[in-house]
A and B are shown apart, each in its own frame.
Chain A
Amino acid sequence: MKHTLKNVFHSPRFLVGFIIFMTILLTVLIYPYFVTRDPLQGLGKGFLSPGTYVSVYDANNTGTYRVELPEADDNRLESSLPVKDRQTMLDYLKAMGADVTGLDTSNENFHQLIEVWKANYSDADAKAKKYEGFSTQAKRNELRRLNNRLSTDVSVPMSVTKGEGDSATVSTVATSDYVKVTEVANAITLPLGTDNFGRDTLTELVKATGISLLVGLLAGSIATSLGLLIGLLAGYIGGVVDDILMFICNIFTVIPGFVLLILIYSALGTNSRSITTCAIIIGITSWVWTARSVRSQVISLRNRDHVNLSKLSGHSLGRIVLTDILPYIASYVVMAFILQVSSGILAEAQLSMLGLGPNPNELPTLGLMMNWSKLFGAYTSSNAWWAYFPVILVIALISFSLNLMNTGLDQVFNPTLRD
């Protein structure tokens, strides 16, 4: 046993797969100790992109430090009016026939550009004249938004009013006032942003991964044990039992598994689809190939000398199966189990993606996350890669690591593949 394990861990493929899988598993187990919030709690409003969000209110109430950043003004100009927008302004001024000599998009000429712009641009004019290149509503809207952003001058101190009525105080914020992010009472880092419900995607993803792994493990265990039991019985006993079991097996083989899954799932309805039911259904529809392979291996084993010897010694059926047959196919069963887990996770993800997953109010799963991000246009209109790409990545990593472990094991146990 020790020797086998050593062999297994010497297989580089198995090792890589194992490390990836364990990393995912450990993250799932440890993460909830650090982030205790409910993964389904809405924090933001709709999709928020990844980043750190600092409360403006609290930042105003936090002590300031004086920091003189040499490039501060440039940064401020660039952020208030990116070069791209300055180019748009120039293009528009050219299109309307204004004098643009000496103007460019550089920071040095920033104020001149703004002056010329303010002297020439008006919403009504843009609307009425429809200059070439700016005739569409979309373009004119862009100009209007741009113009509205210009109204604030960026390098003067700003006054902030705190409180209401008589107790209101006015304080001045200078351009060199900085707050330390860790001192602000409320700031949150969302490494993967939020999903369409405003839920923290990372927390949700970790929880969903855990649940999907659970579904996979449960489905895999059910499928493997069913397959093993049927395969062992059919193969060892043979005769009528074999015929009956293989008849059932054949029926399941000809019905496409996924279609069967979809039918059962939609017949159940959202409310009856708990995580466990989902896993059980996936399990009982995917045992067929395990059963067939186990059966064929058992048939080749059952006439071996040591099995015959056990039979002559009068050992019971259970004992023969457990001690004389099972150990010889154990390696195969472990590998089949790993693949079953992987396909169980995939099946759940596929079904949930189609909107047939477990009840979405209770727990997140990887497939449900994909489903909602699809429904809210995460990869079309909403442009929110963080809501679906990490999910795809996790699904891919899980099935990749499991398959890698499987081929690694194959290398160790399959004599024809051994170096």
Chain B
Amino acid sequence: MKKILALLLAAIMVLGAVSAFAEVADLPRNETLYFGGQQWDPVVGYNPLGDNMNNGLALSQAPRGSRTCMFETLYMYNGLDGQLYPLLADGAYTWNDSLTELTLKIKPAAKWSDGTAVTADDVVATWNVSTQIQNGTYTGYAPYIESIENVDGAVVIKAKLNEEGQPANPLQVLNFLTGVYIVQKDWAEGLLAKHNNDATAVRTDPTPDAVYSGPYGPYFANDQLVAFVRNDAYWGQDASMWGKLPAPKYIAHTIYKDNDATLVAFQAGQIDVNQQFIANVQKLWEEQGLPVATYSDEAPYGICATMPTAWYNMDVPVMQVKELRKAIAMAVDYDNIIENAMTNQSPSFVDVPRSVMNPTDGEQAMYDHEAVKDLQWAGKDIEGAKALLDAAGIVDSDGDGWREYNGEKISLKACCPDGWTDWQAAMNMVAEAGKAIGVEIIATFPTWDQYQTVFTKGSQTEYEIFMWSPAGAEPAAPWSRVRAFMSSEFVGVDNNWSGNFGHYKNDRIDEIIKKIPLTTDADELKALYTEATQIYLDEVPSFSLMYRPEVFHAVNETVWTGYPEKDDGNNIPPMDCTDGYGIAALYNLELVK
């Protein structure tokens, strides 16, 4: 009897355990495109107006390319040519002469998932509701956008004016076009009514039944997997947009524990599109013979659009010595960083000399390379760096092998978050450069929590050198990068994620930053950017350590093929088949024969 009871108990436990795992999505492999590296931890919600929904595939709003699988923006940004491609918008936008009003039309074909048409009123409501609940869209664009109105069925965005009556920043208005999801007026107002206009309640409502305009809607989500199913009535199959439906019926993301687990799944072909830094990615095809490809099969394998940068903290008195800043930057062995930390997934600073531009052709053409040639440095110039320090009077007077400033030994910390492999390796090499020129630099790796609170403070003296990336590619770049590198508007601002983390101040650069958005003449613009680069290279408020793709994009062609590749004539950027104009890739996919 006891035995039977025990057996029964065991059987119940086994059944219980099985049923706990029974809830799995039924996703046929040859109809599903699996993503990797975009979703960590379970999805919280689907609210395009909300905060912290932790929904990697559906919700990611950024001017460089919002993820438009579920919700859509007015335009899609393409980092390859720097152009804006209409999505919900119909054709090109127009500015009035004083750059105070931007007008655009909505595509007549555009529909919501409930079948109603997308109208100018929806765009107006998106802005008005955002203003009411003060979400990220509002805080991000309120300094630049006064109001959005429906004028005879067209959307008119009115720019905020500064004291001189000029628009505050037309470039940021462009960022709105590619960066913000448009939501349905009725749905958004219904949501407000449901929560009695309680802003916090609206922002945190997970809204799994949100009305959307994109090609995919929610299908399944638990703590192991999140999946979206194609809306076969998607308006984009109209000839005025894509002319067809995206190829995969489902898009899904398995939630992995960490990078290693993701990589193993990618190698096994369980992930099709992977957004993850893969050290020595070329070995996957060269040595392991896997059907893996990147945008280009030669280094740097992708499109580098941003530059992880070491910032000098001007709040520390010794860092205000220009010669010290330049000497450290000159001594760093960049080739070593690019070859070892980035495993060559970055162009070198010989191929693309440093400036305020990212290495894309479009931006490189925007300043005069010759004019700043004398200010460039190639790196690993130990003797030059030493001479510069000696001339500035920063010498080792007590013979301990380390240089002093005002009689005190210089000791700097070079910081980046723990676990950020390539950055840690880069900081180690900055420390080595310091050793070579007699400046003590200690590579320090605080936890991410600690790091992010310190470096975003309005003023801090804990980290002398630290790493972060300025804005990458977006409609407002490269202006936004000049601003992120040097604008004094961020000095003293707490919780600053926008730029100038080292709190550098320069009046001339502030003028330039103010002037560029209002300049439309190409030559004048080039002169301004050249001057900004000159100041940046001369003053060295920070220095870039490598170039880096905005998103990593590697594909495993076990199931799907037809991904964007260099020189394929499609002009689709390698943005994980989801971001900005990168989503066009979904329409070209086909099954491997």
Chain B residues within 8 Å of A381, by CB: 263, 267, 278-281, 283-284
Shortest CB-to-CB span from B429 to chain A, Å, is 9
Shortest CB-to-CB span from A28 to chain B, Å, is 25
B interface footprint on A138-153 (CB within 8 Å = 1, 0 otherwise): 1101101100000000
Chain A residues within 8 Å of B344, by CB: 46
B292 interface residue per 8 A CB criterion: yes
Distance A196 CA – B336 CA, assembled complex (angstroms)? 11
Is there contact, CB below 8 Å, between B293 and A141?
A: yes
Quick one: which of A133, A197, A383 contacts B425, CB cutoff 8 A? A197
Shortest CB-to-CB span from B560 to chain A, Å, is 9
Quick one: which of A46, A137, A269 contacts B565, CB cutoff 8 A? A137
Is there contact, CB below 8 Å, between A269 and B446?
A: yes
Chain A residues within 8 Å of B290, by CB: 138
A interface footprint on B291-307 (CB within 8 Å = 1, 0 otherwise): 11100010000000000
Is there contact, CB below 8 Å, between A137 and B278?
A: no
B285 interface residue per 8 A CB criterion: yes
Quick one: which of A46, A47, A136, A355 contacts B557, CB cutoff 8 A? A136
Is there contact, CB below 8 Å, between A135 and B278?
A: no
Is there contact, CB below 8 Å, between B340 and A198?
A: yes
Is there contact, CB below 8 Å, between A46 and B280?
A: yes
B123 interface residue per 8 A CB criterion: no
Q: Which of A3-11, A56-64, A74-82, A372-380 contacts B (4 or more CB under 8 A)?
A: A372-380
Chain A residues within 8 Å of B280, by CB: 46-47, 376-377, 381-383
Q: Which of B234-242, B437-445, B513-521 contacts A (4 or more CB under 8 A)?
A: B437-445
A interface footprint on B249-271 (CB within 8 Å = 1, 0 otherwise): 00000000000100110010000
Select from chain B the residue with minimum beta-carbon distance to A376.
B279
A360 interface residue per 8 A CB criterion: yes
Distance A175 CA – B449 CA, assembled complex (angstroms)? 61
Select from chain A the residue with minimum beta-carbon distance to B432.
A361
Chain B residues within 8 Å of A135, by CB: 561, 592-593
Quick one: which of B283, B425, B443, B446 contacts A382, CB cutoff 8 A? B283
Distance A47 CA – B341 CA, assembled complex (angstroms)? 11
Is there contact, CB below 8 Å, between A42 and B336?
A: yes
Distance A160 CA – B408 CA, assembled complex (angstroms)? 55
Chain B residues within 8 Å of A137, by CB: 293, 555, 557, 561, 563, 565
Quick one: which of B418, B424, B431, B557 contacts A138, CB cutoff 8 A? B557
Distance A48 CA – B60 CA, assembled complex (angstroms)? 39
Chain B residues within 8 Å of A360, by CB: 428, 443
Chain A residues within 8 Å of B593, by CB: 132-133, 135
Shortest CB-to-CB span from B558 to chain A, Å, is 9
Which residues of chain A from 120 to 142 have a CB within 8 Å of any chain B CB? 127, 132-133, 135-139, 141-142
Chain B residues within 8 Å of A269, by CB: 444, 446
Number of interface residues of B (CB under 8 A): 45
Chain B residues within 8 Å of A132, by CB: 593
Is there contact, CB below 8 Å, between A383 and B288?
A: yes
B132 interface residue per 8 A CB criterion: no
B538 interface residue per 8 A CB criterion: no
Chain A residues within 8 Å of B445, by CB: 270
The verdict on A271 contacting B263 (CB below 8 Å), with A45-B336, A46-B340 known, is no
Most B Cβ at <10 Å: residue of A135, A136, A144, A383: A136
Is there contact, CB below 8 Å, between B442 and A136?
A: no
Shortest CB-to-CB span from B249 to chain A, Å, is 20
Chain B residues within 8 Å of A133, by CB: 593
Quick one: which of A141, A144, A266, A361 contacts B428, CB cutoff 8 A? A361
Chain A residues within 8 Å of B565, by CB: 137
B interface footprint on A262-305 (CB within 8 Å = 1, 0 otherwise): 00001001110000000000000000000000000000000000
B interface footprint on A193-236 (CB within 8 Å = 1, 0 otherwise): 00011100000000000000000000000000000000000000
Select from chain B the residue with minimum beta-carbon distance to A123.
B567
Shortest CB-to-CB span from B428 to chain A, Å, is 6
Is there contact, CB below 8 Å, between B264 and A380?
A: yes
Chain A residues within 8 Å of B340, by CB: 42, 45-46, 196-198
Chain A residues within 8 Å of B561, by CB: 135-137
Number of interface residues of A (CB under 8 A): 34
Shortest CB-to-CB span from B569 to chain A, Å, is 9
Is there contact, CB below 8 Å, between A380 and B287?
A: no
Chain A residues within 8 Å of B424, by CB: 375
Distance A270 CA – B565 CA, assembled complex (angstroms)? 42
Chain A residues within 8 Å of B442, by CB: 271, 361
Chain A residues within 8 Å of B260, by CB: 374, 377, 380
Which residues of chain B from 325 to 342 have a CB within 8 Å of any chain A CB? 336, 339-340
B407 interface residue per 8 A CB criterion: no
Is there contact, CB below 8 Å, between A138 and B336?
A: no
Is there contact, CB below 8 Å, between A271 and B444?
A: yes
Is there contact, CB below 8 Å, between B446 and A375?
A: no
Which residues of chain B from 387 to 446 have a CB within 8 Å of any chain A CB? 418-419, 421, 424-425, 428, 431-432, 442-446
Select from chain A the residue with minimum beta-carbon distance to B446.
A269
B interface footprint on A98-137 (CB within 8 Å = 1, 0 otherwise): 0000000000000000000000000000010000110111
Is there contact, CB below 8 Å, between B446 and A142?
A: no
Select from chain A the residue with minimum beta-carbon distance to B276.
A381
Is there contact, CB below 8 Å, between B592 and A136?
A: yes
Is there contact, CB below 8 Å, between B293 and A355?
A: no
Quick one: which of A47, A145, A376 contacts B421, CB cutoff 8 A? A376
Chain A residues within 8 Å of B281, by CB: 381
Which residues of chain B from 207 to 262 have a CB within 8 Å of any chain A CB? 260
Is there contact, CB below 8 Å, between B343 and A136?
A: no
Distance A336 CA – B445 CA, assembled complex (angstroms)? 36
Which residues of chain B from 547 to 575 have a CB within 8 Å of any chain A CB? 555, 557, 561, 563, 565, 568
Is there contact, CB below 8 Å, between B444 and A377?
A: no
Chain B residues within 8 Å of A380, by CB: 260, 263-264, 267
Distance A268 CA – B122 CA, assembled complex (angstroms)? 54
Chain B residues within 8 Å of A127, by CB: 568
Shortest CB-to-CB span from B476 to chain A, Å, is 32
Distance A137 CA – B553 CA, assembled complex (angstroms)? 14
Select from chain A the residue with minimum beta-carbon distance to B342.
A46
Shortest CB-to-CB span from B417 to chain A, Å, is 11
Select from chain B the residue with minimum beta-carbon distance to A131.
B593
Distance A126 CA – B287 CA, assembled complex (angstroms)? 23
Select from chain B the residue with minimum beta-carbon distance to A134.
B593
Select from chain A the residue with minimum beta-carbon distance to B442.
A271
A interface footprint on B437-472 (CB within 8 Å = 1, 0 otherwise): 000001111110000000000000000000000000
Select from chain A the residue with minimum beta-carbon distance to B561.
A136
Distance A293 CA – B99 CA, assembled complex (angstroms)? 83
Shortest CB-to-CB span from A274 to chain B, Å, is 12
Show the binding face of A for B, using Cβ within 8 Å: 42, 45-47, 127, 132-133, 135-139, 141-142, 144-145, 196-198, 266, 269-271, 355, 360-361, 374-377, 380-383
Mind listing 24 A-B residue pairs with CB under 8 Å?
A45-B336, A127-B568, A135-B561, A138-B290, A139-B291, A142-B285, A196-B279, A196-B340, A197-B428, A271-B442, A355-B418, A360-B428, A360-B443, A374-B260, A376-B279, A376-B421, A377-B263, A377-B279, A380-B264, A381-B278, A381-B279, A381-B281, A381-B283, A381-B284
8 A-B pairs with the lowest CB-CB distances in the bound complex, closest first = A136-B557, A137-B293, A382-B280, A45-B339, A141-B297, A138-B291, A375-B421, A377-B279
6 more A-B contacts (CB under 8 A) besides A133-B593, A135-B561, A355-B418? A138-B285, A144-B297, A197-B340, A361-B428, A380-B263, A381-B279
